[in-house]
């Protein structure tokens, strides 16, 4: 059985195998959620100021479970429903307001923590092909144990 693919994808695939750059994205091995969580925080990320927190989403998909590549538009659409991310920067006043008085130290997110957040509220910025979400500290809703991060689902049919 052979697979029929559009000519522009076939040309991009042959250019990619020859080492030429291609504007068309070719399927690559999906990174696992554990890989994304363990990845070091890149240098030069936006810094949260005052009560702002900067999070980078983890677990976004670039292909369906069946291997079909998602378009850039479909990938960026996930940002509006996906609410799992890694804290990369915390402002000096974040998690210190009246709402956080009396909170246990383990309840306060720190840089490197995996968190759930309200996906509708952040300011979205892309830097070097990576999304960063800037939000108020009260939009972070919970801290997630990385060992139990697999299996979250933010919309029907697309589980991390």
Model-level pTM? 0.69
Please report, for the chain, the start and end positions of each structural domain, with discontinuous segments joined by +: 29-159
Q: What is the pLDDT of residue 54?
A: 93
Side-chain half-sphere exposure of 154, counting CA atoms within 13 A: 22
Residues in Cβ contact with 126 at an 8 Å cutoff, skipping those fewer than 6 apart? 132
Q: What is the pLDDT of residue 31?
A: 65
Side-chain half-sphere exposure of 29, counting CA atoms within 13 A: 3
The hierarchical CATH code for the domain 29-159 is 2.30.33.40
Q: What is the pLDDT of residue 87?
A: 93
Q: What is the pLDDT of residue 75?
A: 75
At 39, is the secondary structure helix, strand, or coil?
Answer: coil
Q: Distance of CA 3 to CAs 6, 10, 47, 63, 128, Å?
A: 10, 11, 46, 18, 33
Q: What is the pLDDT of residue 27?
A: 45
- Tell the residue number behind the tokens 């940002």, with chain if given: 79
* Residue 124 CB neighbours (<10 A): 14
pLDDT, tens digit, for every residue of 101-127? Answer: 777 877 888 999 999 888 888 888 888
Q: What is the pLDDT of residue 141?
A: 87
> Phi and psi dihedrals of 10, rounded to 5?
-65, -40
Which regions in the chain score pLDDT beneath 50?
A: 21-29, 157
């Amino acid at each position: 059985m052979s697979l029929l693919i559009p000519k522009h994808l076939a040309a991009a695939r042959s250019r990619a195998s020859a080492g030429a750059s291609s504007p068309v994205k070719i399927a690559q091995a999906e990174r696992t959620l554990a890989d994304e969580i363990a990845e070091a925080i890149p240098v030069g990320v936006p810094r949260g100021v005052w009560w702002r927190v900067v999070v980078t989403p983890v677990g976004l998909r670039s292909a369906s479970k069946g291997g079909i590549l998602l378009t850039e538009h479909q990938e960026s659409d996930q940002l509006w429903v996906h609410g799992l991310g890694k804290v990369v920067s915390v402002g000096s006043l974040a998690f210190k307001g009246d709402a956080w008085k009396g909170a246990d130290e383990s309840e306060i997110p720190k840089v490197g923590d995996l968190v759930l957040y309200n996906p509708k509220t952040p300011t979205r910025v892309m830097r070097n092909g990576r999304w960063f979400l800037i939000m108020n500290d009260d939009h972070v809703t919970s801290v997630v144990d990385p060992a139990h991060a697999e299996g979250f689902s933010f919309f029907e049919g697309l589980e991390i």
